[in-house]
Amino acid sequence: MATETLTLGKALNTGLRRALETDPKVIIMGEDVGKLGGVFRITDGLQKDFGDQRVIDTPLAESGIIGTAVGLAIRGYRPVCEIQFDGFVYPAYDQIVSQVAKMHYRSGGRLSIPMVIRIPFGGGIGAVEHHSESPEAYFAHTAGLKVVTCSNPQDAYVMIQQAIASDDPIVFLEPKRRYWEKGQVDLEAPLSEAYPLHSARVVRPGTDVTVLAYGPMVRTCLEAATAAAEDGRELEVIDLRSLSPLDLRAAYESVKRTGRAVVVHEAPSNIGLGAELAARITEECFYSLESPVLRVTGFDTPYPAARVEEEYLPDLDRVLDAVDRTFGW
């Protein structure tokens, strides 16, 4: 296994490059994706190497990005659209939920929209408003879309390629505050043998409490697990990876063993992913649960000013607090 140490951002960049090489129909489009390489440099160098017909700087209009990408998809292209920040995807919402999500269904399966919508999401980088949102529920609630997110460089590298290769329209959420974190990436392993895109993964086995997280919160939960272990409590941490469809096989199996579950995400609690996870786990593991499934999430306020985001976002302490509460129930 020939691995390299890459940041999560560089792993995405490398995955995109690989996708452009593999399939001439793959194109990248978005604001500033060309010479600038995107504000996070995820498309760095790609326009230089693949030309401005494959890596397209678009006018500043998100509905336009997604809407024209639909047309390009009908023409046979595989557009990878970058939305610059989470908070700027909403102008494209109509095209995403009414067109991208429904085209295959409406056409009786005659049309497919093999589009990937890349969105850097989540907080923790001290940004101004609209730059730290977690809109995953808006997409995962929408039938016809699939939604995935990665938590580490290896997954970033593989999952972006899998998403591009998939004929389903996929919202690909990138944990922006983890862009700079490094990890080993196997650049050689064939994509066909990779771990399936829509499968969750146990990233730390444990026996006492099942902790479910995705994207930026996976690392937070792993740190919580390390801290808990020092206190003698073994958390099993599951990285969901696919937010729609959810893969809860591992979660059910785990909760049936542990009897306790904590769900962690940055997005507000009310009608978020955590609610769905709690509802399904409760239904499936009703007789195993020693405590209700607890949620550790952002609060139900707009994303607050950066100087209080640390208190807004779930952190190690809040995860451990919830773990404690599952024992105190």
Ligand X SMILES: Cc1ncc(C[n+]2csc(CCOP(=O)(O)OP(=O)(O)O)c2C)c(N)n1
- The set of catalytic residues is 131
| Residue 329 binds its own copies, judged by CB under 8 A | yes
Going by C-alpha positions, the residue among 241, 244, 320, 318 that lies closest to residue 280 is: 244
| Residue 140 binds its own copies, judged by CB under 8 A | yes
Q: Looking at beta carbons only, is 20 or 147 nearer to its own copies? A: 147
The tally of CA atoms less than 13 A away on the side-chain side of residue 168 is 17
Residue 72 near residue 63, CB atoms below 8 Å = no
Residue 48 near residue 19, CB atoms below 8 Å = no
CB atoms within 10 A of CB 52: 11
Of these, 119, 264, 278, 320, which contacts its own copies (CB under 8 A)?
A: 278
What are the backbone angles phi and psi of residue 276, rounded to the nearest 5°? -65, -45
Calculate Rg over the CA atoms of the chain.
19
Q: Looking at beta carbons only, is 30 or 153 nearer to ligand X? A: 30
Of these, 1, 2, 53, 193, which contacts other proteins (CB under 8 A)?
A: 53
Which pair of structure tokens corresponds to residue 215?
A: 């994207």
Of these, 17, 141, 204, 318, which contacts other proteins (CB under 8 A)?
A: 318
Q: Which does 283 bind (CB under 5 to 8 A by kind): ligand X, other proteins, its own copies, none?
A: its own copies
| Dihedral over alpha carbons 181, 141, 170, 247 (to 10 degrees) | 70
Q: Which does 236 bind (CB under 5 to 8 A by kind): other proteins, ligand X, its own copies, none?
A: none
Q: Looking at beta carbons only, is 188 or 287 nearer to its own copies? A: 287
120 strand-pairing partners: 174
Going by C-alpha positions, the residue among 274, 285, 217, 276 that lies closest to residue 250 is: 285
| Residue 282 binds other proteins, judged by CB under 8 A | no
Contact region with its own copies (CB under 8 A), list: 49-57, 65-73, 136-144, 168-176: 136-144
Of these, 7, 14, 20, 34, which contacts other proteins (CB under 8 A)?
A: 34
Residue 173 near residue 121, CB atoms below 8 Å = yes
Question: What are the Cα distances from residue 55, in Å, to 119, 122, 273?
Answer: 17, 25, 33
| Residue 255 binds its own copies, judged by CB under 8 A | no
Of these, 106, 107, 199, 205, which contacts its own copies (CB under 8 A)?
A: 106
Q: Which residues bind ligand X (CB under 6 A)?
A: 31, 60, 62, 84, 88, 91
Of these, 36, 39, 97, 125, which contacts its own copies (CB under 8 A)?
A: 97
Contact region with its own copies (CB under 8 A), list: 13-21, 35-43, 73-81, 140-148: 140-148
Which pair of structure tokens corresponds to residue 66?
A: 């997604």
What's the CA gap between 114 and 178, in Å, rounded?
Answer: 26
Q: Looking at beta carbons only, is 15 or 268 nearer to other proteins? A: 268
DSSP character at residue 298:
E
Q: Which of residues 88-107 bind other proteins (CB under 8 A)?
A: 88, 90-91, 94-95, 98-99, 103-107
Residues 6+ apart with CB under 8 A from 180: 7, 8, 9
Contact region with its own copies (CB under 8 A), list: 8-16, 152-160, 171-179, 282-290: 282-290
What's the CA gap between 95 and 104, in Å, rounded?
Answer: 14
What is the binding site for its own copies (CB under 8 A)? 63, 87, 90-91, 93-94, 97-98, 101-102, 105-106, 129-130, 137-138, 140-141, 143-144, 244, 246, 268, 270-276, 278-279, 282-283, 286, 291-295, 299-302, 329
